[in-house]
Amino acid sequence: QQQVKQSPQSLIVQKGGISIINCAYENTAFDYFPWYQQFPGKGPALLIAIRPDVSEKKEGRFTISFNKSAKQFSLHIMDSQPGDSATYFCAASSGATNKLIFGTGTLLAVQP
């Protein structure tokens, strides 16, 4: 019940296209859903996060869509650029701590 399932495992997108990464969870106590971006040899960096009281959040080219009833959330990267090529992790946490449960990651390659 603590798992966060992420798909796809890898994704190839043409420059200017839309990258879509999906995550699903089981634990209804989760109330914070961040997305992290990680480049090789670096630590994860927070991209964008959402709470379950909203269905969508947009920051620049990055949008989170959240479906509480389906227990799913997704990351959309609009106008994808080669510099977006990285591994993306979804995560979830609950309660009074920041103990994050991470998905298994999606390796995104944006081709020029």
Which chain residues interact with other proteins by CB under 8 A?
A: 6, 31-32, 34, 36, 41-46, 49, 51, 89, 93-94, 96-105
Buried b (16+ CB within 10 A) or exposed e, 16-32: eeebbbbbbbeeeebee
Q: Supply the minimum distance, in Å, between the C-beta of residue 99 and other proteins.
A: 5
Q: Supply the minimum distance, in Å, between the C-beta of residue 53 and other proteins.
A: 11
Q: Which is nearer to other proteins, 31 or 79 (CB)?
A: 31
> 68: which 2 tokens?
């509480």
Tell me the three state secondary structure of residue 109.
strand
Q: Which is nearer to other proteins, 13 or 89 (CB)?
A: 89
CA-to-CA dists, residue 62 to 27, 91, 102, angstroms: 25, 16, 19
Q: Which is nearer to other proteins, 26 or 79 (CB)?
A: 26
